[in-house]
Amino acid sequence: MSTRLFELMLWAAGKTVLLSAISIAIGLAIGLLVCAAKLSPKKLLSIPATVYVSLFRGVPLLVQLLLIYNLLPALGILVPSEVAAIAGLALCTAAYQAENLRGGFNSVPRGLIEAADMVGMSPWQQLRRIRAPIAFRLTLPALVNEMILILKASSLISVVGVIELTRMAQNLSASTFRPLLFYSVAGGIYLAICWLVAGGGSLAERLMRTGSSR
């Protein structure tokens, strides 16, 4: 493989990483909202949140992406390829992240919350000082896992017109007739990115653990 083609693959990998990162961040924000709605005692909030989670976890991402790209414009919302890709990935990961966060919030020990009540913390203070930090620490491994899942799932976004790592490999293996080479290189790049993310995740976990022991 010439240097030029390898550079193209790396450029495409950059796009994969960038779009995945944006999607994860937006997905986390939506996921928090959905999680809050789902934990709410008000059915008006919790039922739509439950439907949301079920729907976005129940439909293949491939189909979600095609629907977002082709259905939203019909409703008057024009979405360029990159936006459709981010929307698809973010809405999908939000459903999973909401469930992870819910698990995290539910695992905060009751005793801690009761103690906070006793010392007179307001519910907002409790959320900020106790429930959110603990839930975040508990869900960090799941978040890292979700990052890796979305990185890999982004291999599908070429169906809405984004040229990312998988699409580039597909294009170049067709034009050079060397699918084995280009798909292997793409696989290797995905692997390297995923390992980096996983490594970063365990580093963050270790740092947080030492932080809490102090």
Partner 1 sequence: MTKRIFLKAAFGLSLMLAAPLGFGSAAHAQDALERVKSAGTLSVGTETAFAPFDFIDETGAHVGLNVDLFEEIGKEMGVEIKWVTLPWDGVLPGLEAGQFDMVAGPATITKARVERYRFLTPVAEATVALLKQAGDDTIEKPEDIAGKLTGAGKATAQLAQLQAYGKTLPEPIETREYVGFNEAYADLAAGRIVAVANSLPNIAYVAEQQPDTFAVVLPPFGEKSYFGFIGSKRPEDQSLLDAVNEALLKIKADGRMGEMQKKWFGQSFDTPDEAPTPKV
Partner 2 sequence: MSLDFSIVWQQFPQILSAFWNTIWIWIVATILAILLGFVVAALRRYGPLWLNLLLRLYVEVIRGTPFLIQLFLLYFGGPFIGLSLEPIPAGLLGMTVYGSAYFSEIFRAGFAAIPPGHIEAAECVGLSRGQIVRRILVPEMTMLVLPQIVNMAIILMKETAILSIITVPELTLVVGAIGSQQYAFVEAMTMLALFYWALVELSGWLGGLAEKKLSKFRFAH
Say whether residue 137 binds partner 2 (CB under 8 A).
no
Size of residue set near partner 2 by CB under 8 A:
36
Say whether residue 176 binds partner 1 (CB under 8 A).
yes
| Residue 62 interacting partner from partner 1, partner 2, none (CB closer than 5 to 8 Å by kind) | partner 2
Binders of partner 1 in range 2-21 (CB under 8 A): 2, 4-5, 8
Binders of partner 1 in range 90-119 (CB under 8 A): none
b or e along 168-187 (b: 16 or more beta carbons within 10 Å of the residue's beta carbon)?
A: bbbebbeeeeeeeebeebbe
Say whether residue 78 binds partner 2 (CB under 8 A).
no
Say whether residue 71 binds partner 2 (CB under 8 A).
yes
Task: Give the residue with the Cβ less far from partner 1, 68 or 197.
Answer: 68
Say whether residue 77 binds partner 2 (CB under 8 A).
no
| Residue 176 interacting partner from partner 2, partner 1, none (CB closer than 5 to 8 Å by kind) | partner 1
